[in-house]
Amino acid sequence: MMVDTWFGAEDARTLGFLHVPDDGVARGGVVICPPLGYDHALGYRGMRYFAQQLEAAGVAAIRFDYLGEGDASGATASPNSQERWLTTIENAVAYLHESGVERVVVLGLRSGALLAVRAMDRLRDVAALVLWDPDLSGRRFVRRQRSLYELTVGATPQSADDAVALISLTLHSSTAAWVEGLEVTAGGLSSVGVETLVLGRRADDASAASRRIAQSDAAGVDYRVIDGQEEWLEAPGALAILPQDSIRTIIQWVGERLPVAGGPVLPAITAETLVGTSADGVPIVERIRRVGPNELFAIETVLGDQPTEEERGMIVLQPGAAEHRVGPGRFQVDAARELAAQGFRAIRFDRRITGDSTEVRPGEPSLVFAEEWVDDADDLIAGLATDSPLVLAGLCAGGWVSARVTERHTARLTVLMSPNYFKTTSLKPGGYTRLTETHRDHTPLIDRVKGALREHVPGWLWRMLAGLQLFHDPAVLLEAPSRNRRSTVAILLTPEDVENFAGHRGPDAVARLRVHGADIRVTTYPFGDHSLFGEEVRAAMRRDLLALAESTVPQVAGPALAERRPA
């Protein structure tokens, strides 16, 4: 079973998921230190699967976000981020001990291994250490992430003199320098004082750093080569393959270092925590929720003393295809807390087969652009809705879902960020994966033909073919959210999305809908990437999202719930 809880000091709590064997008895426990940045999003479901397998083996496990990152409290890119990261690891170890787990193993994945090794200096009562596909050099980690940023996003923003922009992560310059100084060496591991398992990629086996660890005779250090990490952590989210062999290796090694008999696990559970204050000093709190028939995992961000009937509106935030509820660079988290300060109730959640709503099963189909994702959003809104206005906002596929949900719930405001799919026909579960695989190798003939015809098809034929779902016409997707004359639809486009939107005659679609009275607003940015990996475009879109909510949703409560649920 999995326990959702906040843990740590009252003024600095992080979100954790404690996995406990079904009988409530554990032989020991594993603290899973996640990677930093986008590696955390890519590895999220794999880490949950690993925790599930530990649970099945009679071992407790805890997954978490570092303070200032993910769903945890605190601001990112702070000059003391490194201290808060290490404190989070300490708190996770302490939480397992306080729950009754006596023997604790610390595991670090990728850059999390650098933090796990550094944290060992301040940890007590740790039985063993596991470094899973570790980054052995902080300098190489930062250099690689900077290169990926430049390839994906472009040059670092000129205004960020005290920040280092990485993929889906921003570090204060002093923190980046601290990370660059981290290194895992054979000598350092021998001084840790506990048995250590190092699982390195075959591709890294020839590197000098890996070779020194593999060939060292340091007592208690077991170096092994593993495969399958690239297919998990370097593949698009829809194509990722879980590294089951590596997981079995880790669980066997850990199990051999734990007692046969276990003890009861009795965790303290905290469902609500303080995450900040509004401009006038009102507490902002976040609550863990399970909603609907599928018990979707959700986090509700509100003003602490605001009754539900007095909230300004409910806003549902949805990430792109590959991410769970946090979104790129914790976009959803920061937006939720800023919206709560304005009086909104902000909801971020995981659809099925994403994040923490459902157990992980190898080979499970992606629900990107699938009707099941729309159903989940519908269930969430129905389970949480009040009489206040509804706002829907989503990135890429999350924007598509937001528009589709308005077929069932009328929204005061619908915000589509970086939209690129404009059909209303959904894909079957796993369909997006197959589509991605097909386009990865070559462009199908039908797509090449449609691309050649796109500029030459007359408007009347274009609209007819789009109505048959043969062409992408933004008017088809925008019709439902703009149907109500009291509703506003906003489209936020990065340069890549501007080109795609224009290629599918988006400006013409907007003009046609406006003629019929639709309030559609289009904002374009001269910078940024489609996935919002860059901090500059994330900040700009977040500002615009808040401004749109402020301008379109009045301070006074909106229409009754019955008016918001069209037949």
Tell me which H or E stretch contains 32: strand 29-33
Tell me which H or E stretch contains 482: none
SS3 at position 215: helix
Distance (Å, rounded) from C-alpha 386 to C-alpha 309?
7
First-residue to last-residue Cα distance in the chain: 39
Residues facing 170 on adjacent strands: 165
CB under 8 Å, gap of 24 or more: what pairs does 124-128 form?
125/93, 125/97, 126/93, 126/194, 127/28, 127/103, 127/194, 127/257, 127/258, 128/194, 128/195, 128/196, 128/197, 128/254, 128/257
CA 14 from centre of chain: 15
Structure confidence at residue 247 (pLDDT) = 98
**3-class DSSP string for 238-254:** HHCCCCHHHHHHHHHHH
Domain boundaries, the chain: 2-136+183-262, 272-439+473-564
Of 353, 342, 276, the closest CA to residue 306 belongs to 342
The yes-or-no answer to whether 2-136+183-262 and 272-439+473-564 have a common fold is yes
| Level-2 CATH architecture, domain 2-136+183-262 | 3-Layer(aba) Sandwich (3.40)
Structure confidence at residue 156 (pLDDT) = 63
Residue 311 tokens read as 């909230």
Structure confidence at residue 561 (pLDDT) = 36
- DSSP E strands, 149-253: 163-166, 169-172, 195-201, 221-226
Domain 272-439+473-564 - what CATH class?
Answer: alpha beta
Distance (Å, rounded) from C-alpha 528 to C-alpha 549?
22
Q: What is the DSSP string of 348-370?
A: EE--TTSTTSS---TTPPP-TTB
Structure confidence at residue 565 (pLDDT) = 37
Distance (Å, rounded) from C-alpha 357 to C-alpha 299?
12
Q: What does each of the 567 residues of the chain score in pLDDT, given as a tens digit?
A: 999 999 999 989 999 999 999 999 999 999 999 999 999 999 999 999 999 999 999 999 999 999 999 999 999 999 999 999 999 999 999 999 999 999 999 999 999 999 999 999 999 899 999 999 999 999 999 999 999 999 989 876 555 568 899 998 999 999 999 999 999 999 999 889 899 999 999 887 667 888 888 888 777 899 999 999 999 999 877 788 999 999 999 999 999 999 999 999 999 999 999 999 999 999 999 999 999 999 999 999 999 878 878 899 999 999 998 789 999 999 999 999 999 999 999 999 999 999 999 999 999 999 999 999 999 999 999 999 888 999 999 999 999 999 999 999 999 999 999 999 999 999 999 998 887 776 655 566 556 555 656 666 777 676 777 777 767 889 999 999 999 999 999 999 999 999 999 998 999 999 999 999 999 999 999 999 999 999 999 999 999 999 999 999 997 544 433 333 343
Amino acid at site 202: R
